[in-house]
Amino acid sequence: MLALIQRVRRASVSIDGSVVGQIGAGLLVLLCAEQGDTPAQADKLLAKILKLRIFSDAQGKMNRCVQDLDGEGLHGGLLLVSQFTLAADTTGGNRPSFTQAAAPDVGRALYEHFVQQARSAHSAVATGVFAADMQVELVNDGPVTIPMRVAAGA
């Protein structure tokens, strides 16, 4: 599975002009399931994201994770948005190929699994809508943007 993680001051996702998910400070996570991905990989990716130390401590060092914010009453949110285009292969020309992305039914199942597990592990989780035409707005904090992949067997 692939994720693009952005530390944000705030973020929202809208469909047809209506906000369907939003957070204050926290992480915007764009998620992509690839062919062969499993729920175990989704679980491992979620665990890594929840413990990713990219928030500043009192000394200004990236030493806290989103769960630390939540534990301090700062409600570090997660905004989870499906994005199959993270699987783009641009090596063959000017039009990206998405053949490595999971089939839509598999991608939906893995995204929904990821969301369910995130809601079990974290108190502030918002989402987009799988396969919808969404508009994402964010204020990237830093900016801090981190790509992450959990491969099969990892």
> Quick one: pLDDT at residue 70?
64
> Quick one: pLDDT at residue 74?
56
Judge whether 42 and 13 are in contact, CB under 8 Å.
no
> Quick one: pLDDT at residue 21?
97
Closest CA to 26 of 63, 62, 65: 65
pLDDT in tens, 9-52: 999 999 999 999 999 999 999 999 999 999 999 999 999 999 99
Closest CA to 28 of 58, 66, 1: 66
> Quick one: pLDDT at residue 68?
87
Could you give the 3-state DSSP secondary structure of residue 110? helix
Cα 117 from chain centre: 13
> Quick one: pLDDT at residue 69?
82
**pTM of the model as a whole:** 0.94
Torsion angle of the four alpha carbons 50, 153, 80, 108, in this order, in degrees rounded to the nearest 10? -150
Q: One-letter amino acid identity for 40?
A: A
Total number of domains in the chain: 1
CATH number, domain of 110, equals 3.50.80.10
Question: What number of other Cβ atoms are within 10 A of residue 113's Cβ?
Answer: 16
Does any domain span residue 134? yes
Does any domain span residue 154? no
Distance CA 41, CA 102 (A): 13
By DSSP bridging, strand 2-15 and strand 125-127 are unpaired
Residue 15: which domain range? 2-149
Distance CA 65, CA 53 (A): 4
Could you give the 3-state DSSP secondary structure of residue 115? helix
Active-site residue set: 83-85
Does any domain span residue 107? yes
pLDDT in tens, 79-116: 999 999 999 999 998 999 999 999 999 999 999 999 99
